[in-house]
Amino acid sequence: MAISKALAEFTGAIDAAYAELNEVVSKISDLEQQRARIAQATPHTDDIVAVFQRGLQAASSNAERHLKSYCDATFGGNDAAAAVSHGRSSNLLQLPGYTLSTQERQDRMMQGKGAEPLETNVEILTYLLRDQIAAELPSLVAKVFPQGSGGMTSADRNAALAEVDAELSRLAAKREELYAELHAASQAVRHPSDRGSV
């Protein structure tokens, strides 16, 4: 009678552990789906504008670096006086964004083109218009991507993800604990201790 009661209690404990494990696994699945929804949520307009502002800043920094390099090479060498001689001009918006290789220069000359491509240097243009571009960005983004106004900010996204990740970590630890308990119970049933001969 005592053995039957013990077996019933043992079986009940196993069933309860399996039920708790299933609940934990289900919660983990739900949280993983919630995490995906948070990660994929539409970004807020402010964060979209910030992306373009970082690009604006990078282009402006590159423009300064390229202009300095051009000025150092053109006006800082032995031919500095010739570089500013009467009648000489240089189009700021057509400065090369990078130095062409000798082969590229030769190819252009063979094709009847100038040694340097006369293309608008977008970085210089961006630098010159950076304040106007920065001022127009918020309204432009709001106009072309209106759904961003109801989007999730990076701060809110990071906070929500941190909360979900903390709960996922807790549930994962609980899941491993239940797996270990059920494994130990299974081993005890399959390999009972040697009680000696009766």
Residues 103-113 have pLDDT tens digits of 766 776 676 66
Assess contact for 93 and 126: CB atoms under 8 A.
Answer: no
Length of the chain: 198
pLDDT above 70 covers what percent of the chain? Answer: 81
Q: Which residue ranges make up each domain of the chain?
A: 25-41+152-190, 44-76+88-150
Any long-range contacts for 19-23 (C-beta under 8 Å, 24+ apart)?
20/178, 21/175, 21/178, 21/179, 21/182
Determine the 3-state secondary structure of 96 from DSSP: coil
- Give 43's strand partners: 152
Give the Cα separation of 61 and 65 in Å (integer): 6
Interval 72-102: pLDDT, tens: 887 887 777 777 777 778 888 887 655 566 7
Helix (H, G, I), strand (E, B) or coil at 138: helix
Contact 28, 168 (CB under 8 A): yes
- Does residue 69 carry a pLDDT above 90? no
Q: What are the structure tokens assigned to 137, written together?
A: 């960005």
Query: Which pTM value belongs to this model?
Result: 0.68
